Amino acid sequence: MEAIQSLFLGILQGLTEFLPVSSSGHLVIAQWILGFDLGEGILFEVSVHFATMFAILIFYKNEVKALAIGAVSANHDSLCYIGKLIIGTLPAVAVALLAKSWIEQQFELPGVTGLCLLVTGGIVWSTRYTIKKGIRLEPTYLEAFLIGCAQAIAIMPGISRSGSTVGVALALGLSPMAAAKFSFLLGVIAITGAGILLLPELTTVSGLLVQNIVLGVGSALISGLIALWLFVWLLQKQRFHLFAWYAWAVGITTLIAVFIAK
């Protein structure tokens, strides 16, 4: 993998991670169409996901700090919120452990990504009808689990993690900002867990790949911060659902390209 490829994919990851268009789906499509060879593809993807995780921590630094202080001081509200984040993480953990090999195979099938993008479009479009109704500031424990189920499904390439979790949270009655906060803090745990699972693979990584990963991580962090700000702004302006058209267009185009390539 060339340095320019790492830079491009890092920017692509950062821009699409927080917008409801599936960053993993875009990485799969870009690698397939442009012929990028990532070598340790899953490792590179998790690395740039780590970069966007740090973008979340930076963007929500005040909320993260408050939760950390609350946890240390045994604040009831903070402990409850953290508990809901943990419960929301369990479905993704179960799917990752039970179906890891099968999921990795899906990243080699651009047709699957195309179909999943169509699903993402449907989820995102549904927010047009739910975004104005939400008023609550955090989910119940059961709702946290349901949002976590949406995150587990989003392990598939083409299913947007931010789109599906925020979509479900809005449908359950959370306010747009509360839905975004829970979704992204939930993502911090999921991304960290995925990275830990792949730590043993670091011993087989070449020096050149490390350099490329550093380039990808840096570009993903910067572009991720920009995309995160844009995501929240779109929620506030109630324009979130418009990304459904983009997801549908990319999904259909991908399926057509896959059909022609056969």
pLDDT of residue 111: 87
Interatomic CA distance for residues 141 and 162, integer angstroms: 19
pLDDT of residue 45: 67
Average pLDDT score, the chain: 83
Alpha helices, DSSP H, located in 73-175: 76-98, 100-106, 110-130, 141-153, 161-171
pLDDT of residue 121: 94
pLDDT of residue 100: 75
pLDDT of residue 93: 85
pLDDT tens string 43-75: 676 777 778 888 888 888 888 899 899 888 988
Residue 179 banded pLDDT, cuts 50, 70, 90: very high
Percentage, residues of the chain above pLDDT 90: 29
Within 8 A by CB and 6+ apart from 83, the residues are 141
Percentage, residues of the chain above pLDDT 70: 88
Mean pLDDT, rounded, for 177-182: 92
**Tokens for 50?**
């780590």
Is 90 exceeded by the pLDDT of residue 42? no
Interatomic CA distance for residues 258 and 133, integer angstroms: 39
Mean pLDDT, rounded, for 189-213: 64
Q: Where are the domains of the chain?
A: 3-261
Residue 249 banded pLDDT, cuts 50, 70, 90: very high
pLDDT tens string 209-220: 667 778 888 888
Query: What global pTM score does this model have?
Result: 0.83
Mean pLDDT, rounded, for 136-151: 94
Within 8 A by CB and 6+ apart from 71, the residues are 78, 79, 82
Place of tokens 């973008």: 55
User: Do residues 250 and 37 make contact, with C-beta atoms less than 8 angstroms apart?
Assistant: no
User: Do residues 209 and 48 make contact, with C-beta atoms less than 8 angstroms apart?
Assistant: no
192 versus 188: the higher-pLDDT residue is 188
pLDDT tens string 90-117: 998 888 888 877 887 888 788 888 999 9
Q: Which residues of 202-238 are buried (b: 16+ CB within 10 A; e: fewer)?
A: eeebeeebeebbebbbbbbbebbbebbeebbebbeee
User: Do residues 165 and 139 make contact, with C-beta atoms less than 8 angstroms apart?
Assistant: no
Is 80 exceeded by the pLDDT of residue 239? yes
